Amino acid sequence: MEKQKNTLLKNSALPAFSKMQTKDMFNAIKYLVNENKAIVKKTEKLKNPTWDNFVYQIENSDDKISKVWAPIRHLNSVMNDKDIRKQYERSLNLLTSYYGKIGQNKNLFSQYERFYEKNKKKLNSNQVKLLEDILKGFKLSGVHLDPAKRKSFRECQEKLAKLESKFEQNILDSTNSWTKNIKDLKTLQGVPQNAIEIAAEVASKNKQEGYTLTLDQPCYMAIMTFSENRALRKDLYLAYVSRASKKFPVNKKWDNTKLIEDILKLRHKIATILDYNNYAEYSLTTKMAKSPNEVINFLESLKRKALKQSKKEIKVLEKYAMEKLKLKTIKPWDLAFISEKYKEENFGVSQEELKKYFPVENVIKGLFKLVESLYGIKVKLKKTKDVWHKDVRLYEIYDKKNNLRGKFYFDLYARQNKRGGAWMDECIQRREKLNGKIQSPVAFITCNSSPPTKKSPAFFTHYDVETLFHEFGHGLQHMLTTINYAGISGISGVEWDAVELPSQFMENWCWEKNVLDTFAFDYKTKKKLPSALFKKLLATKNYNTGLALLRQIEFSLFDFLLHMDEKNKKTKLAEHILRDVRKETAMLPIHENNKFENSFAHIFSGGYAAGYYSYKWAEVLSADAFMAFKEKKLVDRKVGNNFMKKILEKGGSKPALELFIDFRGREPKIEPLLDSLGLK
């Protein structure tokens, strides 16, 4: 293979998206894996291993692979087509197989173990933590197993990677396949103008007349929340909740039911090969929570509070639906619509009225202004055409001394062939090279809000503002890290149930008037969000908070109980467990076409298996951390500096609980969370 012709192998500071050839993707990974093999072989045989000729060499080679794999993985999520998908899957299979073998390489493990024992007193604390994490990784990869079990473990991992990838592709394919064309504008009564403009543009692009609706998040939410047409809401609802299942109206070939069963069996087998009772136990080895019981008790205690509140909330909505909307029963496709109507009438605030105060450009400026006030960092736009889509932008972060701290890409709008949801992903990790130079971290920050149209700029809902702040919080932990080893810098090495702390922490600022005053201006009059309207918005903060919390607990309990199941012999296990959980958490009857589990990507393809509870677990930490700011004058540079130094910069260099105690001076308390949810 000619290395010089493959753009992915050129060691540039950023991926060269404009020059990248899809056909080169797998070849680049294959080349680097072979290079890595040779380096591992060499380091295994070292008689006198040092940090530089052993640990660093492997980190450096892994980093090369990581920097090529990141853009391939990213493009598969945001610009998915059959060619990229093929290259992604071939690369994923090779990497899973290769790193599965590395994790069971006894010679390499012994070399690390000897090096650790011999040098741990001489190494700095970050080096010790990195080596301890590496040794733990070997043990969780089955390095101690006999040859037959090692092989079986590896085969499970390889199959699992393929199935998880297929699960996600099925969701994307079924989501993309469904459209509904509408000729008569009256059918869209109540739907916001911006959503109608987008539907008209989609129709035009598809060479159709009128308006074309899709299952992309902004379109789906606009219909469910605002459409006066109950039959239309039902149509979209039934399509959305049955994606990737036999109930899906377009095509049954993307059904994930069998994949779920196969994924669960493989996970259970992986756990039992390593002598864990179930996958939940195995999963907790890299989390803050110490036992499955601790997680279940945590969720059950929150559930009791949420249930009490939810029952009151649903009664209020039922009464309102009957009296004001003449709906005798609330169906699942009515809930968002009724909730929004009630909110408009009783709080005097609607998402649409608020939207005009959140043009995307203003929100971005406000976000950057906030982090400058908190941490003394400056965010600058870097002009480049070297991106994967015309809407994508690249930014750089500089500190007070004008040192470059990191870079990030924003890809904010929904489009076809882009995975739904919002996320932050690593593009490049911070690490120190042998020559003393620091490799700047780079992040991908992805959202799925409504794009601008030919007639109007892009706007965020208040929820979209929270989502952007949330993902940027993840980005800050990745980019502001000062740890110089890739394995524990940024979000690496952070326990999974603590990783949402910086992101959920950022959401709190979206409810503070003095922060909103820096960016929430009417896009036409340029007037600030009026105090009266802000008060109405604030009054909605805990509106239906019980129902929202109960929904999260339903997802978390379903996920955790599913991975705690030790028999794993039942077919349709997921369906049974979800039904049992819903006996206590469902406030409305569940439609038979609701196959939510078939598109629950977080746990079946997104790394949250037996870990969805992390959102609530970390929210205890984030609410308590935010309380430190409330105890001062909110946007306080001194507290901000402390949070940056003790949480954001430290990455996975210490256990999350230690870092939190270092910041707060004590262990986290649950009261600030209950207070913020109005459940105290």
Question: Catalytic pick from 471, 500, 554, 619?
Answer: 471
In the numeric block, the tokens 């159709």 are attached to 208
Strand order in the sheet with 442-449: 378-382, 393-398, 404-413, 442-449, 423-428
Task: Round to whole Å and give the CA distance between 602 and 614.
Answer: 12
Task: Round to whole Å and give the CA distance between 383 and 7.
Answer: 21
Task: Round to whole Å and give the CA distance between 553 and 332.
Answer: 18
Q: Is 300 a catalytic residue?
A: no
- Kindly tell me the number of DSSP H helices and DSSP E strands found in the chain: 26, 9
Q: Which helix (H) or strand (E) holds 174?
A: helix 147-177
Chain mean position to CA 213: 26
329 φ/ψ angles, rounded to the nearest 5 degrees: -130, 150
Q: Which helix (H) or strand (E) holds 249?
A: none
Chain mean position to CA 402: 30
- Which has the closest alpha carbon to 227: 201, 264, 195? 195
- Which has the closest alpha carbon to 399: 438, 429, 435, 455? 438
359 φ/ψ angles, rounded to the nearest 5 degrees: -60, 140
Residue 233 near residue 334, CB atoms below 8 Å: yes
What type of residue is 429? Q
And the tokens for 73?
A: 């993985």
CA distances to 29, 187, 227, 233, 248 from 190, rounded to whole Å, are 50, 9, 5, 12, 26
Strand partners, 444: 409, 425
Residue 146, burial from CB neighbour count under 10 angstroms (0-12, 13-18, 19+): exposed
And the tokens for 130?
A: 């990195």
How crowded is residue 290: how many other Cβ atoms within 10 Å of its Cβ? 9
And the tokens for 360?
A: 């995307």
And the tokens for 600?
A: 């629950």
And the tokens for 256?
A: 């994930």
Query: Active-site residue numbers?
Result: 471
